[in-house]
Amino acid sequence: VSIAHALYTDIFSLIFAGKLNGDKIVWEFTPMNTFKTPDLKLKDNSLEIPQDGLYFVYTQVVYTGRECEKVKSTELTHTVNRKGEYGKVTPLLTSTKTACEVASKNIWHQPIYQGGIFQLEEGDILSTETTHIHLLNLNKGQVYFGVLAL
C-alpha cells in the first residue's frame, strides 16, 4: 500500500447543516462535501469523535437583520465546545461580533467562520452554543458545522 493510498483511505469528513428548533440550532447530516465516515456520529445534537487523532473542526453561522435604528448594539457569539473524558467542557473555537453599532435603515449581515486543527481523543464530544439564533440566516450553506480527520 502506498503512502498516498494509506493517507487517502484514512481521511474522513462530515458536515452538518443547521436548522432552528425552538431556541437552538439542530444539526442535520448533509451529503455535501462528505467523505468516508467510519463511526463518526451525530448524537443528541453533538458529534462524537471515533478515534484519537488530529481533526480540522470548522463552523459558520451568518446573522442578518434590519433597522438598527430601533435595536441597540448586539453581541453575536458562536462557540464550538469539547467535552472530554472527565466531563469537563472547554471551548475549542469561539468568536463574537457586534451588530447595530451605528444606527442604520439598511439590512446588515455578520458572518462568523471559525476553523482550527485540534488533537482530539476517542469519545470526545463536540457541540455548539450560539446566541441570538432568531437572527440567523438559514439559507442553504449559511449555517454549518463539520469535522475533517487529518
Q: How many angstroms separate the CA atoms of 60 and 17, rounded?
A: 10
User: Letter for the amino acid at 105?
Assistant: K
Topology, domain 3-149 = Jelly Rolls (2.60.120)
Domain extents for the chain? 3-149
- Burial class of 138 by CB neighbour count within 10 A (0 to 12, 13 to 18, 19+): middle
pLDDT, averaged across the chain: 82
Cβ-based neighbours of 87, under 8 Å, separated by 6 or more: none
Q: Report the predicted TM-score, pTM, of the whole model to 2 decimal places.
A: 0.81
70-92 pLDDT, tens digit each: 667 889 999 999 999 888 999 99
**Which range among 38-47, 97-106, 123-132 shows the weakest confidence by mean pLDDT?**
38-47
The vertex-105 CA angle with 103 and 109, nearest 5°, equals 85
Backbone angles phi, psi at 37, to 5 degrees: -130, 75
Helix (H) or strand (E) holding 116: strand 108-120
15-52 pLDDT, tens digit each: 677 777 787 887 777 665 555 555 677 788 899 998 89
Residue 137, SS3 per DSSP: coil
Q: How many angstroms separate the CA atoms of 73 and 118, rounded?
A: 33
